[in-house]
Amino acid sequence: RVFDVATSATADSVRVDPATCEADRRGASELCTVWQDPEWDPSLRAFYYVRLLENPTCRWSTRVCREHGVDPLSSACAAEAARAGESWRDCCLDTSGDGFAEATVRERAWSSPVWVRPDGISSVEGSIDAARGEAGLAIAIGALPGALAPPVAPLRLRASDARDLLSLDVPPGAWVEEAIGPGGRRWRAATDAAEFSIESAADGSAVLRVDGRGLPVPGTDGVDHAVRLSLESGVYRAAHERRWRVDGARLSPRGS
């Protein structure tokens, strides 16, 4: 679906000036608004991007034709094309003869998309400590997928910048289930490298907790930088990439 979220007051009345090939009036110098999706469904995957439409101007082909004495905006276009020669005949095409032949165009720009994934990683808290070789992370998942309740395939957790900071694997048969609170469940697993737990809440959200000791974590470079954390098990894939802050040998997320 396409929604108009901010519009210049002149958006529907701007026309191309046939003498200059430019818009006959200015649009908004900037547009600012807050928008909420009226069809929002938190259970669905979605993506959003912003598209900006400029005031209409002459199409590049119209400018080329005009430079050679054939004006697609003129009622005399056919006569001008006949004088200019056979190769300029198409200057006079319009949408009645060619669905793509527009004498004017509205240029557009668009933003990078924002992806909404209910079962994705919503936030990461904790830290990775190179000096101690330790990792303590709480990875929040918006909606617990069946592939993680419990993992029926090997669970792989990776954290990396230009290097691999953390690489942990859990075999599928290592998980033990526990009941917690009303409507909640917890699965625990342990390997030689770390202890893991997946806790689900009554609202369907979940948290994966990781507590590792004696890990071969490389040292930091002393500068805050982006860290990518990825999680996969079977068909489930999720990633979370944010700037992490450096405190000595310790790396921790700058919020979610």
101-143 confidence digits (pLDDT tens): 788 988 899 999 998 899 999 999 999 999 999 999 999 999 9
Residue range 45-56, pLDDT digits in tens: 999 999 988 888
Question: Residues 145-173: what's their mean pLDDT?
Answer: 93
Q: Rounded to whole angstroms, how far apart are CA atoms 236 and 36?
A: 29
pLDDT at 194 over 80: yes
Residues in the chain: 256
| pLDDT at 100 (0 to 100) | 60
Geometric angle at alpha carbon 137, from 120 and 170, rounded to 5°: 75
Residues 116-127: b if buried by 16+ CB within 10 A, e if exposed: bebbbbbebebb
| pLDDT at 256 (0 to 100) | 44
Question: Residues 94-103: what's their mean pLDDT?
Answer: 73
Residue range 17-45, pLDDT digits in tens: 888 888 888 878 888 899 999 999 888 89
Percent of the residues in the chain that have a pLDDT greater than 90, as a whole number: 64
Task: Answer for the pair 120, 145: CB distance below 8 angstroms, yes or no.
Answer: no
| pLDDT at 147 (0 to 100) | 92
Question: Can you read off the two tokens belonging to residue 87?
Answer: 């190769």
Give how far Cα 23 sits from Cα of 75, 180, 252, Å: 19, 65, 51
Cis omega (within 30 of 0) for bond into 150:
yes
- Residues with Cβ within 8 Å of 131's Cβ and at least 6 positions away in sequence, in order, are 219, 248, 249, 250
